[in-house]
Amino acid sequence: MPIFAAIVGLLIVLSVLLDAFETVVLPRRVQRSFRLTALFYRITWRPWAKLAGHIKSLSRRETYLSYFGPLSIIFLLVVWAASLIFGFALLQYGLGEHLRLGSEKISFGALLYHSGETFFTLGYGDIVPNSWMARALAVFEAGMGFAFLAVVINYIPIIYSTLADRELEISLLDSRAGSPPTATEMLNRLGCCPDGRVLDEIFRDWERWSASVLASHLSYPVLSFFRSQHSNQSWLGALTVMLDVTSLVIVGVDGIRSEQAKLTFAMARHAAVDLAQVIHAEYNPSPSPRLSTPELQQLRNTLEANGLRLRQDDAGDLKLAKLRSLYEPYVQANAERLLIALPPWIRTEKKKDNWQSGPWDKMIQKKEPAGSLVLDDHF
């Protein structure tokens, strides 16, 4: 029995150390079928998401869902620490000999306590290892405690630094594509710019952003669960808008070059596909259509009203359908998995952008004299 306990303890310790290394240190996706961290997120996300489904208010639901990402990091660290303490307690039970001050008997519960105080380097000295193997285990576990503290100190700042970089471009999208952003709104605001390099530069920035999101979310999958600052914004929504708008440009919009749009589409599609695998999104064979035929015609009319002409023939419609089929199943699967609402192709109602609204606006407007200057919707 003691030998069996030692073997189980060794397996637990090695499994946790490997999982922590792959999650925090290894900068690439791990394709192994079983991982403790992946199992942890599957077990914890499902009930959290199920409870979110009972919250009717969109803002309250988003607020509730926004707690999962930060809390999951804390609970994951707790699971790692508890597992290591339990594993080392089993090793001490199977391989070590101990003395205890006083006459109280050494039980497994006492060894569990000894493992905890050793891991957190408390060093009370009320339980003392009495063999070279038990002493070696105690020293090694104390070292693991210091390493664990280093992981906590470094892991969380890295997560939030990467999150800030991701959210920067999403915030910039507000004035360029609306809140929530849509492909039609972005073309209406930027597609008619006389200098075509402006839209190309924006596409180039979003190509880099897509590559950055892909790299960071592969290394730190927990970032997928972090929500944006506003309930009408999300990293997945921004990625989808870029895929939508570059699809339209690739199909053909008069006066807009498609070379950079093709590169941005390729990178954004790559991110959507790989991240669907990271979060274990499930393929939906019958997803709800995001762009119906009447909506496509409405999209064309809206663009034409702003001086833009989208290609209108059977070959163009077929090309757009083909491009959509390359990414929509993945972004929709991601959205269902993460409970993120995907942006529409076209605005159905007039809404202010996030930058146009504020908590004091009504009071300020009441005090404004007649004829005062007011910004229009798009400057």
The C-alpha angle 248, 253, 255, rounded to 5 degrees, equals 145
Quote the pLDDT of residue 195.
Answer: 67
| Length of the chain as a residue count | 379
Name which of 189-203, 211-225, 229-243 the model is least confident about: 189-203
Among 303, 287, 295, CA closest to 342: 287
Work out the burial of residue 338: count CB atoms within 10 Å of its CB; fewer than 13 is exposed, 13-18 middle, 19 or more buried.
Answer: buried
- Residue 127 pairs in a beta bridge with 100
**In whole angstroms, what is the distance from residue 93 CA to residue 129 CA?**
11
User: Per residue in 209-226, is it b (16+ CB within 10 Å) or e — as a string?
Assistant: bbebbbebbbbbbbbbbb
Q: Which of 142, 164, 304 is nearest to 223 (CA)?
A: 164
Nearest to 41 by CA among 170, 222, 183, 199: 222
Q: Average pLDDT in the 355-374 region? A: 65
Could you state, in order of their start, the residue ranges of all structural domains in the chain? 2-152, 161-349
Query: What's the whole-model pTM score?
Result: 0.85
- Strand (E) or helix (H) holding 358: none
Can you give the pLDDT at residue 372?
A: 46
Given pLDDT bands bounded at 50, 70 and 90, which one contains residue 296?
Answer: very high
pLDDT given at position 73: 92
Report pLDDT digits (tens) over 67-124.
999 999 999 999 999 999 999 999 988 877 776 666 667 788 888 888 888 898 887 7
pLDDT tens digit sequence for 237-291:
999 999 999 999 999 998 888 999 999 999 999 999 999 998 989 888 887 889 9
User: Which residue from 4, 137, 148, 163 is spatially nearest to 70, judged by alpha carbons?
Assistant: 163
Instruction: Give the residue among 245, 237, 264 at the shortest CA–CA distance from 308.
Output: 245
375 pLDDT higher than 60:
no
pLDDT at 379 over 60: no
Angle at 362 between CA 356 and CA 364, to 5 degrees: 90
For the chain, what is the mean pLDDT?
86
